[in-house]
Amino acid sequence: MYPVLIRLGTFELRSYGIILALSFFLALWLSAREAKRSGLDPALIHDFAFYALLGGIVGARIYYVVFSNPAYFVQKPWEIVAVWHGGIGIIGALLGGFLTALWYCRKKQLSFWRFADTLAPGVALGQAAGVIACLLNGDSYGKPADVAWAITYTDPRALAPLNIPLHPVEIYEMAAYLLVFLLVWQTRGKTKTPGFAFLTYVAGYGAARFAVEFFRGNPAIFAWGIPAAQVFGAALALAAVAGIGVLARAGRKTA
């Protein structure tokens, strides 16, 4: 693949950072449009974006450091901040963004559920686009595969094993997230119950991540050989489904 887009002497412009930045701005653009559609001031989305970026990066890196190879980071603590080498966990980014949104809504006296519903489509779409960064960088590669659509990394700057056919798990993941985006997009206007679109996204993401991890070649391990992403994915999906059930019952009582 293409972990480095441009190299001038010792300077390298890596695809990982470029794609993540573009994905962030894609999510921001769609979230601002959703805010305008739902009657929320788009300026709030732009203001929140800075805090969300900080919270997401911190959460993503903490997740990766804790669940990938913590002994390595104990020996080389300066690598903890080297996000340009790859190694962020989207689940950590979501948790960091979630906590940041709770703080922001409390600060601005906003309804968290309405705010989260506004952000959900943009986050889902940006997430799908962001997986391209992992595909080009090779940092979140698939298991060895004997299938016609397997991909093989040959660039020594990629983080995936070289010259070995692998499941294109990043493409599986991107397709799954696009389906989640379409689901959220279709349901966002179907109910006036605050929180429904957001919980739909969380349930879809959790289920998609749980399924995709069966093809991951280098999963971060939670315990007993179980991938951390499957533990968190299952927990998110179950919690979101339970939340949707609570919202549905509350809606019937007020109907």
Range list of β-strands (E), the chain: 4-8, 11-14, 221-223, 226-227
Buried/exposed code over 70-95 (b: 16+ C-beta within 10 A; e: otherwise)? eeebeeeeeeeeebeebbbbbbbbbb
pLDDT at 192: 78
- Quote the pLDDT of residue 53: 93
Indicate the domain borders of the chain. 4-190
- Give how far Cα 77 sits from Cα of 38, 68, 82, 118, Å: 44, 14, 10, 37
CB 145 within 8 A of CB 103: no
Task: Say if residue 28's pLDDT is above 80.
Answer: yes
**Residue 189 reports pLDDT greater than 80:** no
H-helix or E-strand containing 205? helix 196-212
- Cβ atoms of 130 and 20 closer than 8 Å: yes
For 2-16, 39-53, 163-177, 196-210, which range has the lowest pLDDT when averaged over its residues? 2-16
pLDDT of 90-100, one tens digit each? 889 999 999 99
- Each residue of 102-120: pLDDT tens digit? 999 999 999 999 999 999 9
Residue 149 pLDDT level (bands cut at 50, 70, 90)? very high
How sure is the predictor about 159, in pLDDT bands with cuts at 50, 70 and 90?
A: confident
pLDDT of the residue at 254: 54
Question: Does residue 135 carry a pLDDT above 60?
Answer: yes
User: What interhelical angle do 112-137 and 169-187 show, nearest 10?
Assistant: 160
Beta bridge partners of 6: 13
pLDDT computed for residue 182 by the predictor:
96
Query: Is 129 a residue whose pLDDT tops 80?
Result: yes
Q: What is the structure's pLDDT at 86?
A: 59
Region 128-137: what's the mean pLDDT?
91
Average pLDDT of the chain, as a whole number: 89
Query: pLDDT category, 164, cuts 50, 70, 90?
Result: very high
What is the distance between the alpha carbons of residues 81 and 175, in angstroms, rounded to a whole number? 30
User: pLDDT band at 218, cuts 50/70/90?
Assistant: confident
Residue 36 has pLDDT above 80, yes or no: yes
